[in-house]
A and B are shown apart, each in its own frame.
Chain A
Amino acid sequence: MSNTPNTLKYTKSHEWVRREADGTLTVGITDHAQELLGDLVYVELPQAGAKLAAGKECAVVESVKAASDVYTPVSGEVIESNSTLGDTPETINKDPYGSGWMFKIRPSSPAEVEALLDAAAYSAQVASESH
Protein backbone atom coordinates (compact mmCIF):
# COMPACT_ATOMS: atom_id res chain seq x y z
CA MET A 1 0.00 0.00 0.00
CA SER A 2 1.24 3.47 -0.78
CA ASN A 3 1.78 6.09 1.88
CA THR A 4 -0.53 9.15 2.06
CA PRO A 5 0.39 11.40 5.02
CA ASN A 6 -2.51 13.19 6.72
CA THR A 7 -0.50 16.38 7.08
CA LEU A 8 -0.43 17.04 3.32
CA LYS A 9 -2.94 18.16 0.69
CA TYR A 10 -3.36 16.48 -2.68
CA THR A 11 -4.61 16.89 -6.23
CA LYS A 12 -6.56 14.48 -8.39
CA SER A 13 -3.54 14.39 -10.71
CA HIS A 14 -1.34 12.88 -7.95
CA GLU A 15 0.64 15.89 -6.73
CA TRP A 16 1.08 16.54 -3.00
CA VAL A 17 1.22 20.01 -1.43
CA ARG A 18 2.68 21.05 1.93
CA ARG A 19 1.87 24.42 3.46
CA GLU A 20 4.98 26.04 4.90
CA ALA A 21 5.03 28.52 7.81
CA ASP A 22 5.91 31.41 5.46
CA GLY A 23 2.77 30.88 3.38
CA THR A 24 4.55 29.18 0.47
CA LEU A 25 3.72 25.67 -0.75
CA THR A 26 6.09 22.80 -1.43
CA VAL A 27 4.98 20.43 -4.22
CA GLY A 28 5.93 16.91 -5.26
CA ILE A 29 4.34 13.75 -6.64
CA THR A 30 2.70 11.21 -4.36
CA ASP A 31 4.03 7.84 -3.29
CA HIS A 32 1.22 6.28 -5.30
CA ALA A 33 2.30 8.21 -8.41
CA GLN A 34 5.96 7.21 -8.14
CA GLU A 35 4.90 3.61 -7.59
CA LEU A 36 2.80 3.66 -10.76
CA LEU A 37 5.58 5.26 -12.78
CA GLY A 38 8.35 2.95 -11.62
CA ASP A 39 12.01 3.98 -11.42
CA LEU A 40 12.42 7.62 -12.42
CA VAL A 41 15.30 8.47 -14.74
CA TYR A 42 14.68 12.09 -15.78
CA VAL A 43 13.01 15.14 -14.24
CA GLU A 44 12.29 18.54 -15.77
CA LEU A 45 11.36 21.30 -13.31
CA PRO A 46 9.85 24.80 -13.61
CA GLN A 47 12.21 27.79 -13.35
CA ALA A 48 12.16 30.06 -10.34
CA GLY A 49 10.11 33.13 -11.22
CA ALA A 50 7.77 31.27 -13.54
CA LYS A 51 4.12 32.24 -13.10
CA LEU A 52 1.95 29.16 -13.31
CA ALA A 53 -1.79 28.67 -13.69
CA ALA A 54 -3.52 25.93 -11.70
CA GLY A 55 -4.00 22.70 -13.60
CA LYS A 56 -1.36 23.44 -16.28
CA GLU A 57 1.60 21.17 -16.96
CA CYS A 58 4.65 22.59 -15.24
CA ALA A 59 7.09 19.70 -14.89
CA VAL A 60 7.87 16.33 -16.44
CA VAL A 61 8.91 13.08 -14.83
CA GLU A 62 10.20 10.25 -17.00
CA SER A 63 10.48 6.73 -15.69
CA VAL A 64 11.92 3.58 -17.23
CA LYS A 65 8.40 3.07 -18.54
CA ALA A 66 6.99 6.40 -19.71
CA ALA A 67 6.98 10.19 -19.58
CA SER A 68 4.38 11.87 -17.42
CA ASP A 69 3.37 15.50 -16.89
CA VAL A 70 3.19 17.10 -13.47
CA TYR A 71 0.44 19.70 -13.05
CA THR A 72 0.45 22.93 -11.06
CA PRO A 73 -1.76 22.33 -8.02
CA VAL A 74 -2.58 26.02 -7.51
CA SER A 75 -1.80 29.24 -9.38
CA GLY A 76 1.24 31.20 -8.27
CA GLU A 77 4.90 32.00 -8.74
CA VAL A 78 7.69 29.44 -8.52
CA ILE A 79 10.20 30.40 -5.85
CA GLU A 80 12.62 27.52 -6.10
CA SER A 81 12.95 24.11 -7.69
CA ASN A 82 14.82 21.10 -6.37
CA SER A 83 17.88 21.12 -8.61
CA THR A 84 19.39 18.03 -6.96
CA LEU A 85 16.78 15.92 -8.78
CA GLY A 86 18.54 16.53 -12.11
CA ASP A 87 21.31 14.10 -11.19
CA THR A 88 19.33 11.88 -8.85
CA PRO A 89 15.73 11.57 -10.08
CA GLU A 90 15.47 8.30 -8.11
CA THR A 91 15.23 10.45 -4.95
CA ILE A 92 11.54 10.84 -5.83
CA ASN A 93 11.10 7.05 -5.69
CA LYS A 94 12.94 6.76 -2.40
CA ASP A 95 11.55 9.76 -0.54
CA PRO A 96 8.62 11.29 -2.44
CA TYR A 97 7.44 13.50 0.46
CA GLY A 98 10.89 14.51 1.73
CA SER A 99 14.03 15.06 -0.31
CA GLY A 100 12.05 14.18 -3.45
CA TRP A 101 10.13 17.48 -3.35
CA MET A 102 9.99 19.15 -6.77
CA PHE A 103 9.32 22.90 -6.42
CA LYS A 104 8.07 25.64 -4.10
CA ILE A 105 5.35 28.03 -5.14
CA ARG A 106 3.87 31.25 -3.69
CA PRO A 107 0.13 30.80 -4.20
CA SER A 108 -1.94 33.66 -5.59
CA SER A 109 -5.38 32.32 -4.66
CA PRO A 110 -6.16 31.16 -1.12
CA ALA A 111 -9.42 29.64 -2.39
CA GLU A 112 -7.49 27.27 -4.67
CA VAL A 113 -5.39 26.13 -1.71
CA GLU A 114 -8.56 25.46 0.32
CA ALA A 115 -10.01 23.40 -2.51
CA LEU A 116 -7.14 20.86 -2.51
CA LEU A 117 -8.00 17.30 -1.43
CA ASP A 118 -7.21 16.00 2.02
CA ALA A 119 -5.54 12.62 2.54
CA ALA A 120 -8.85 10.75 2.94
CA ALA A 121 -10.32 12.20 -0.26
CA TYR A 122 -7.13 11.47 -2.21
CA SER A 123 -6.94 7.90 -0.90
CA ALA A 124 -10.56 7.35 -1.88
CA GLN A 125 -9.80 8.57 -5.38
CA VAL A 126 -6.77 6.27 -5.68
CA ALA A 127 -8.88 3.35 -4.49
CA SER A 128 -11.56 4.10 -7.08
CA GLU A 129 -8.96 4.34 -9.88
CA SER A 130 -7.53 0.94 -9.09
CA HIS A 131 -10.87 -0.80 -9.56
Chain B
Amino acid sequence: MGHRTPLYDTHVALNAKMVDFGGWDMPLHYGSQLEEHHRVRQDAGMVDVSHMNVFDLKGKEARDFLRLLLANDVAKLETPGRALYSCMLNAQGGVIDDLIVYYLDDALFRVVANAATREKDLAWIRSTAEHYGGVQIVPRDDLAMIAVQGPNAKAKVYKALGDPLRAAEKLKPFHSMALGDLFIATTGYTGEDGFEIILPTTPVRDIWEALREADVAPIGLGARDTLRLEAGMNLYGQDMDDTTTPLESGLGWTVAFEPADRKFIGREVLEKQHRNGAPRQLVGLLLEGKGGVLRAHQKVHCDGLGDGEITSGGFAPTLNSSIALARLPAGVPLGAICEVEVRGKRLGARVVKYPFVRHGKSCLT
Protein backbone atom coordinates (compact mmCIF):
# COMPACT_ATOMS: atom_id res chain seq x y z
CA MET B 1 0.00 0.00 0.00
CA GLY B 2 1.27 3.41 -0.91
CA HIS B 3 0.77 6.81 0.71
CA ARG B 4 -2.78 8.11 0.55
CA THR B 5 -4.01 11.67 0.28
CA PRO B 6 -6.99 12.80 2.42
CA LEU B 7 -9.12 12.35 -0.72
CA TYR B 8 -8.21 8.68 -1.26
CA ASP B 9 -11.62 7.37 -0.16
CA THR B 10 -13.33 10.00 -2.28
CA HIS B 11 -11.47 8.80 -5.39
CA VAL B 12 -12.32 5.17 -4.67
CA ALA B 13 -15.99 6.08 -4.16
CA LEU B 14 -15.91 7.82 -7.56
CA ASN B 15 -14.70 4.55 -9.15
CA ALA B 16 -11.31 5.96 -10.01
CA LYS B 17 -8.72 3.63 -11.46
CA MET B 18 -6.08 3.88 -8.72
CA VAL B 19 -2.42 3.44 -9.61
CA ASP B 20 0.92 3.75 -7.88
CA PHE B 21 2.42 7.15 -8.62
CA GLY B 22 5.84 7.64 -7.03
CA GLY B 23 4.80 5.74 -3.92
CA TRP B 24 1.30 7.30 -3.74
CA ASP B 25 -2.01 5.59 -4.54
CA MET B 26 -3.48 8.12 -6.95
CA PRO B 27 -6.38 8.24 -9.43
CA LEU B 28 -5.26 7.68 -13.05
CA HIS B 29 -8.74 8.47 -14.37
CA TYR B 30 -12.38 8.26 -13.33
CA GLY B 31 -13.59 6.53 -16.51
CA SER B 32 -12.13 8.29 -19.52
CA GLN B 33 -8.84 10.14 -19.57
CA LEU B 34 -9.74 11.74 -22.91
CA GLU B 35 -13.03 13.14 -21.64
CA GLU B 36 -11.31 14.49 -18.55
CA HIS B 37 -8.72 16.20 -20.73
CA HIS B 38 -11.40 17.88 -22.83
CA ARG B 39 -13.32 18.94 -19.70
CA VAL B 40 -10.34 20.95 -18.51
CA ARG B 41 -9.73 22.53 -21.93
CA GLN B 42 -13.40 23.41 -22.43
CA ASP B 43 -14.93 23.82 -18.96
CA ALA B 44 -13.44 23.05 -15.54
CA GLY B 45 -11.80 20.14 -13.79
CA MET B 46 -10.03 19.48 -10.50
CA VAL B 47 -7.02 17.36 -9.67
CA ASP B 48 -6.05 16.12 -6.24
CA VAL B 49 -2.39 17.12 -5.99
CA SER B 50 -2.10 16.65 -2.24
CA HIS B 51 0.85 14.33 -2.84
CA MET B 52 2.99 17.32 -3.84
CA ASN B 53 5.68 18.28 -1.36
CA VAL B 54 4.65 21.52 0.34
CA PHE B 55 7.02 23.10 2.84
CA ASP B 56 7.63 26.53 4.32
CA LEU B 57 10.95 28.28 4.74
CA LYS B 58 10.94 30.58 7.72
CA GLY B 59 13.32 33.14 9.08
CA LYS B 60 14.84 36.48 8.25
CA GLU B 61 17.52 34.80 6.14
CA ALA B 62 15.02 32.81 4.04
CA ARG B 63 15.25 35.19 1.09
CA ASP B 64 19.05 35.16 0.96
CA PHE B 65 19.02 31.40 1.33
CA LEU B 66 16.61 30.97 -1.60
CA ARG B 67 18.75 33.27 -3.73
CA LEU B 68 21.59 30.77 -3.25
CA LEU B 69 19.44 27.65 -3.51
CA LEU B 70 17.48 28.44 -6.69
CA ALA B 71 18.53 29.19 -10.27
CA ASN B 72 15.74 31.74 -10.60
CA ASP B 73 15.94 34.80 -8.37
CA VAL B 74 13.37 35.30 -5.61
CA ALA B 75 14.43 38.97 -5.54
CA LYS B 76 12.02 39.25 -8.52
CA LEU B 77 9.21 38.69 -6.01
CA GLU B 78 8.70 42.27 -4.97
CA THR B 79 5.29 42.07 -3.38
CA PRO B 80 3.89 39.46 -0.97
CA GLY B 81 1.83 36.80 -2.69
CA ARG B 82 3.91 36.60 -5.85
CA ALA B 83 5.08 33.22 -7.13
CA LEU B 84 8.13 32.09 -9.06
CA TYR B 85 8.93 28.91 -10.97
CA SER B 86 12.50 27.71 -10.54
CA CYS B 87 14.88 24.81 -10.78
CA MET B 88 16.97 23.78 -7.80
CA LEU B 89 20.40 22.73 -9.06
CA ASN B 90 23.35 20.69 -7.87
CA ALA B 91 26.90 22.02 -8.21
CA GLN B 92 27.14 20.47 -11.70
CA GLY B 93 24.10 22.44 -12.84
CA GLY B 94 21.89 19.33 -12.91
CA VAL B 95 18.28 19.71 -11.85
CA ILE B 96 17.56 18.28 -8.38
CA ASP B 97 13.94 19.34 -8.71
CA ASP B 98 11.68 22.02 -10.15
CA LEU B 99 9.32 23.92 -7.89
CA ILE B 100 7.17 26.96 -7.31
CA VAL B 101 8.07 29.33 -4.50
CA TYR B 102 5.54 31.78 -3.05
CA TYR B 103 6.64 34.90 -1.20
CA LEU B 104 4.32 35.30 1.77
CA ASP B 105 6.23 37.75 3.92
CA ASP B 106 9.83 38.71 4.53
CA ALA B 107 10.34 35.78 6.88
CA LEU B 108 8.08 33.23 5.17
CA PHE B 109 8.27 31.54 1.78
CA ARG B 110 6.13 28.57 0.73
CA VAL B 111 7.53 25.98 -1.66
CA VAL B 112 5.60 23.40 -3.70
CA ALA B 113 7.91 20.72 -5.09
CA ASN B 114 7.50 17.23 -6.51
CA ALA B 115 6.33 14.29 -4.44
CA ALA B 116 8.72 11.63 -5.74
CA THR B 117 11.78 13.75 -4.93
CA ARG B 118 10.66 14.72 -1.44
CA GLU B 119 13.39 13.08 0.66
CA LYS B 120 16.17 14.02 -1.75
CA ASP B 121 14.97 17.64 -1.84
CA LEU B 122 14.64 18.03 1.91
CA ALA B 123 18.05 16.44 2.55
CA TRP B 124 19.66 18.80 0.04
CA ILE B 125 17.91 21.87 1.39
CA ARG B 126 18.74 20.99 5.00
CA SER B 127 22.41 20.44 4.23
CA THR B 128 22.59 23.67 2.22
CA ALA B 129 20.81 25.56 4.99
CA GLU B 130 23.44 24.59 7.54
CA HIS B 131 25.24 27.84 6.79
CA TYR B 132 22.02 29.75 7.29
CA GLY B 133 21.39 29.14 10.96
CA GLY B 134 18.28 31.26 10.95
CA VAL B 135 16.37 29.35 8.26
CA GLN B 136 13.76 26.86 9.41
CA ILE B 137 12.42 24.19 7.05
CA VAL B 138 8.87 23.20 7.94
CA PRO B 139 7.21 20.36 5.93
CA ARG B 140 3.47 21.01 5.67
CA ASP B 141 2.01 17.51 5.74
CA ASP B 142 -1.00 19.10 7.41
CA LEU B 143 -1.96 20.64 4.08
CA ALA B 144 -3.79 19.22 1.07
CA MET B 145 -3.89 20.70 -2.43
CA ILE B 146 -6.46 20.80 -5.22
CA ALA B 147 -5.79 22.24 -8.68
CA VAL B 148 -8.96 23.64 -10.28
CA GLN B 149 -8.28 24.37 -13.94
CA GLY B 150 -10.13 25.34 -17.09
CA PRO B 151 -11.81 28.36 -18.71
CA ASN B 152 -14.73 28.14 -16.25
CA ALA B 153 -12.65 27.08 -13.25
CA LYS B 154 -12.55 30.42 -11.45
CA ALA B 155 -16.26 31.13 -11.89
CA LYS B 156 -17.09 27.68 -10.56
CA VAL B 157 -14.80 28.13 -7.56
CA TYR B 158 -16.66 31.33 -6.63
CA LYS B 159 -19.96 29.56 -7.07
CA ALA B 160 -18.89 26.55 -5.01
CA LEU B 161 -17.02 28.26 -2.22
CA GLY B 162 -18.91 31.49 -1.86
CA ASP B 163 -18.51 35.19 -2.50
CA PRO B 164 -15.53 35.78 -0.19
CA LEU B 165 -13.52 33.82 -2.75
CA ARG B 166 -14.18 36.57 -5.30
CA ALA B 167 -11.36 38.46 -3.63
CA ALA B 168 -9.14 36.14 -5.67
CA GLU B 169 -10.54 37.61 -8.87
CA LYS B 170 -7.97 40.35 -8.84
CA LEU B 171 -5.02 37.94 -8.77
CA LYS B 172 -2.85 38.10 -11.85
CA PRO B 173 -1.14 34.91 -13.06
CA PHE B 174 1.51 33.59 -10.68
CA HIS B 175 0.10 35.37 -7.64
CA SER B 176 -1.46 34.07 -4.46
CA MET B 177 -3.39 35.16 -1.40
CA ALA B 178 -4.69 33.69 1.83
CA LEU B 179 -8.47 33.66 2.28
CA GLY B 180 -9.33 32.25 5.67
CA ASP B 181 -8.04 28.68 5.73
CA LEU B 182 -7.47 28.64 2.01
CA PHE B 183 -4.30 29.57 0.21
CA ILE B 184 -5.30 30.45 -3.35
CA ALA B 185 -2.76 30.69 -6.17
CA THR B 186 -3.11 31.47 -9.84
CA THR B 187 -0.67 28.77 -10.85
CA GLY B 188 -1.22 25.48 -12.64
CA TYR B 189 0.10 22.71 -14.82
CA THR B 190 -2.40 22.67 -17.69
CA GLY B 191 -2.03 25.84 -19.76
CA GLU B 192 -5.52 26.96 -18.66
CA ASP B 193 -6.78 29.56 -16.23
CA GLY B 194 -7.57 28.44 -12.74
CA PHE B 195 -6.42 28.14 -9.18
CA GLU B 196 -4.27 25.88 -7.13
CA ILE B 197 -5.78 25.77 -3.65
CA ILE B 198 -3.69 24.73 -0.67
CA LEU B 199 -5.78 24.01 2.40
CA PRO B 200 -5.87 22.08 5.68
CA THR B 201 -6.58 18.37 5.29
CA THR B 202 -9.71 18.44 7.46
CA PRO B 203 -12.04 20.45 5.19
CA VAL B 204 -10.60 19.15 1.92
CA ARG B 205 -13.35 16.59 1.32
CA ASP B 206 -16.08 19.18 1.87
CA ILE B 207 -14.36 21.56 -0.52
CA TRP B 208 -14.01 18.79 -3.13
CA GLU B 209 -17.71 17.95 -2.76
CA ALA B 210 -18.74 21.60 -3.06
CA LEU B 211 -16.72 21.88 -6.26
CA ARG B 212 -18.33 18.70 -7.59
CA GLU B 213 -21.75 20.16 -6.91
CA ALA B 214 -20.70 23.20 -8.94
CA ASP B 215 -19.99 20.75 -11.78
CA VAL B 216 -16.21 20.77 -11.60
CA ALA B 217 -15.13 17.39 -13.02
CA PRO B 218 -12.69 15.16 -11.11
CA ILE B 219 -9.55 14.77 -13.24
CA GLY B 220 -7.00 11.99 -12.87
CA LEU B 221 -3.25 12.12 -13.21
CA GLY B 222 -3.52 10.65 -16.73
CA ALA B 223 -5.24 13.75 -18.10
CA ARG B 224 -3.01 15.96 -15.99
CA ASP B 225 -0.07 14.51 -17.90
CA THR B 226 -1.54 15.06 -21.38
CA LEU B 227 -2.62 18.58 -20.36
CA ARG B 228 0.86 19.52 -19.15
CA LEU B 229 2.47 17.98 -22.24
CA GLU B 230 0.22 20.01 -24.55
CA ALA B 231 1.07 23.05 -22.43
CA GLY B 232 4.77 22.28 -23.01
CA MET B 233 5.58 21.96 -19.33
CA ASN B 234 8.42 19.72 -18.23
CA LEU B 235 7.87 16.73 -15.98
CA TYR B 236 10.65 16.17 -13.48
CA GLY B 237 12.30 12.76 -13.84
CA GLN B 238 11.31 12.56 -17.49
CA ASP B 239 12.20 15.78 -19.27
CA MET B 240 14.96 16.70 -16.84
CA ASP B 241 16.85 15.21 -13.93
CA ASP B 242 20.10 15.49 -11.94
CA THR B 243 22.15 14.95 -15.13
CA THR B 244 20.59 17.64 -17.32
CA THR B 245 20.83 21.40 -16.91
CA PRO B 246 17.94 23.84 -17.32
CA LEU B 247 19.61 25.11 -20.51
CA GLU B 248 19.36 21.60 -21.98
CA SER B 249 15.76 21.33 -20.81
CA GLY B 250 14.15 24.34 -22.44
CA LEU B 251 14.26 26.22 -19.13
CA GLY B 252 16.86 28.87 -19.89
CA TRP B 253 14.16 31.49 -19.26
CA THR B 254 14.00 30.38 -15.61
CA VAL B 255 17.70 30.95 -14.92
CA ALA B 256 18.43 34.45 -13.62
CA PHE B 257 22.02 35.31 -14.61
CA GLU B 258 21.35 38.92 -13.60
CA PRO B 259 22.36 40.38 -11.24
CA ALA B 260 25.83 39.08 -12.11
CA ASP B 261 27.00 39.12 -8.51
CA ARG B 262 24.30 36.74 -7.22
CA LYS B 263 25.86 33.42 -6.31
CA PHE B 264 23.56 30.44 -6.85
CA ILE B 265 24.36 26.77 -6.80
CA GLY B 266 25.22 25.54 -10.30
CA ARG B 267 25.94 29.03 -11.63
CA GLU B 268 29.49 28.34 -12.84
CA VAL B 269 28.48 25.38 -15.00
CA LEU B 270 25.47 27.20 -16.41
CA GLU B 271 27.47 30.33 -17.24
CA LYS B 272 29.96 28.25 -19.16
CA GLN B 273 27.16 26.46 -20.99
CA HIS B 274 25.45 29.78 -21.63
CA ARG B 275 28.65 31.17 -23.17
CA ASN B 276 29.60 28.13 -25.23
CA GLY B 277 26.11 26.89 -26.02
CA ALA B 278 24.54 23.79 -24.50
CA PRO B 279 25.32 20.59 -26.42
CA ARG B 280 21.71 19.42 -26.27
CA GLN B 281 18.32 21.09 -26.45
CA LEU B 282 14.76 20.19 -25.58
CA VAL B 283 12.42 20.58 -28.55
CA GLY B 284 8.80 19.97 -29.39
CA LEU B 285 7.95 17.26 -31.92
CA LEU B 286 4.76 16.86 -33.91
CA LEU B 287 4.15 13.51 -35.58
CA GLU B 288 3.61 13.85 -39.32
CA GLY B 289 0.49 12.00 -40.38
CA LYS B 290 -0.63 8.94 -38.45
CA GLY B 291 1.24 5.74 -37.82
CA GLY B 292 1.49 5.49 -34.08
CA VAL B 293 2.01 7.45 -30.90
CA LEU B 294 5.21 9.21 -29.83
CA ARG B 295 6.30 8.02 -26.39
CA ALA B 296 9.07 8.57 -23.88
CA HIS B 297 12.40 6.83 -24.65
CA GLN B 298 11.78 6.42 -28.38
CA LYS B 299 14.93 7.15 -30.37
CA VAL B 300 15.01 10.20 -32.65
CA HIS B 301 17.30 10.40 -35.71
CA CYS B 302 18.15 13.86 -37.00
CA ASP B 303 19.70 13.64 -40.45
CA GLY B 304 23.40 14.49 -40.23
CA LEU B 305 23.06 16.08 -36.80
CA GLY B 306 23.02 13.01 -34.57
CA ASP B 307 20.48 11.18 -32.47
CA GLY B 308 18.29 12.08 -29.56
CA GLU B 309 15.48 10.71 -27.46
CA ILE B 310 11.89 11.54 -26.67
CA THR B 311 11.58 12.48 -23.00
CA SER B 312 7.76 12.81 -22.88
CA GLY B 313 5.36 11.82 -25.61
CA GLY B 314 1.77 10.98 -26.15
CA PHE B 315 -1.46 11.62 -27.93
CA ALA B 316 -2.56 15.25 -27.72
CA PRO B 317 -6.37 15.16 -27.46
CA THR B 318 -6.77 18.88 -28.24
CA LEU B 319 -4.75 18.52 -31.44
CA ASN B 320 -5.89 15.02 -32.34
CA SER B 321 -2.30 14.10 -33.14
CA SER B 322 0.76 12.87 -31.34
CA ILE B 323 3.30 15.26 -29.81
CA ALA B 324 6.45 14.96 -27.76
CA LEU B 325 9.24 16.74 -25.98
CA ALA B 326 12.60 15.39 -27.12
CA ARG B 327 16.20 16.01 -26.17
CA LEU B 328 18.13 16.49 -29.43
CA PRO B 329 21.62 17.64 -30.36
CA ALA B 330 22.03 21.42 -30.48
CA GLY B 331 21.66 22.72 -34.00
CA VAL B 332 18.58 20.80 -35.07
CA PRO B 333 16.46 23.73 -36.29
CA LEU B 334 12.76 24.44 -35.97
CA GLY B 335 10.90 22.92 -38.89
CA ALA B 336 13.38 20.05 -39.34
CA ILE B 337 11.86 16.65 -40.02
CA CYS B 338 13.35 13.95 -37.78
CA GLU B 339 12.68 10.24 -37.78
CA VAL B 340 11.36 8.58 -34.63
CA GLU B 341 11.60 4.84 -34.02
CA VAL B 342 8.07 3.72 -33.19
CA ARG B 343 7.61 -0.03 -32.78
CA GLY B 344 10.32 -0.88 -35.30
CA LYS B 345 9.19 1.68 -37.89
CA ARG B 346 10.62 5.12 -38.57
CA LEU B 347 7.99 7.85 -38.54
CA GLY B 348 8.55 11.46 -39.55
CA ALA B 349 8.15 14.14 -36.88
CA ARG B 350 8.57 17.88 -37.26
CA VAL B 351 10.49 20.04 -34.79
CA VAL B 352 8.02 22.67 -33.58
CA LYS B 353 7.82 25.44 -31.03
CA TYR B 354 6.04 24.65 -27.80
CA PRO B 355 3.70 25.14 -25.89
CA PHE B 356 1.51 23.17 -28.27
CA VAL B 357 -1.74 24.39 -26.67
CA ARG B 358 -2.67 27.45 -24.59
CA HIS B 359 -6.11 28.43 -23.31
CA GLY B 360 -7.85 25.69 -25.25
CA LYS B 361 -6.30 26.60 -28.60
CA SER B 362 -3.57 25.12 -30.74
CA CYS B 363 -0.35 27.16 -30.88
CA LEU B 364 0.88 25.26 -33.93
CA THR B 365 1.26 27.38 -37.03
Q: Which residues of A contact B (CB under 8 A)?
A: 38-39, 41-42, 44, 60, 62, 64-67, 86, 90, 93
Contact = CB atoms under 8 A, between A and B. Distances in A.
B293 interface: yes
Interface stretch (B29-37, B41-49, B153-161): B29-37
Interface string B252-296: 000000000000000000000000000000000000001011010
A64 B314 contact: yes
B151 to A, nearest CB: 22
B222 A67 contact: no
A42 B295 CA distance: 13
Nearest to A93: B32
B315 A41 contact: yes
B314 A60 contact: no
B295 A64 contact: no
Contacts, number: 40
Interface residues of B, number: 16
Contact of B293 (A38, A41, A93): A41
Contact of B222 (A42, A60, A64, A93): A64
B293 A67 contact: yes
B218 to A, nearest CB: 16
A86 B292 CA distance: 11
A38 B222 contact: yes
B33 A38 contact: yes
A41 B33 CA distance: 11
Interface string B289-314: 01011010000000000000000001
B140 interface: no
B164 to A, nearest CB: 38
**Best-surrounded residue of A38, A39, A67, A90 (most CB of chain B within 10 A):** A39
Contacts of A39: 32-34
25 contacts: A38-B28, A38-B29, A38-B32, A38-B33, A39-B32, A39-B34, A41-B34, A41-B315, A41-B322, A42-B290, A42-B292, A42-B315, A42-B322, A44-B292, A60-B343, A62-B293, A64-B33, A64-B226, A64-B314, A64-B315, A67-B292, A67-B293, A67-B295, A86-B290, A93-B32
B222 A65 contact: yes
A100 B286 CA distance: 28
B2 to A, nearest CB: 18
Interface string B307-337: 0000000110000001000000000000000
B349 to A, nearest CB: 14
Contacts of B290: 42, 86
Contacts of A67: 292-293, 295, 343
Nearest to A39: B34
B52 to A, nearest CB: 22
B34 A64 contact: yes
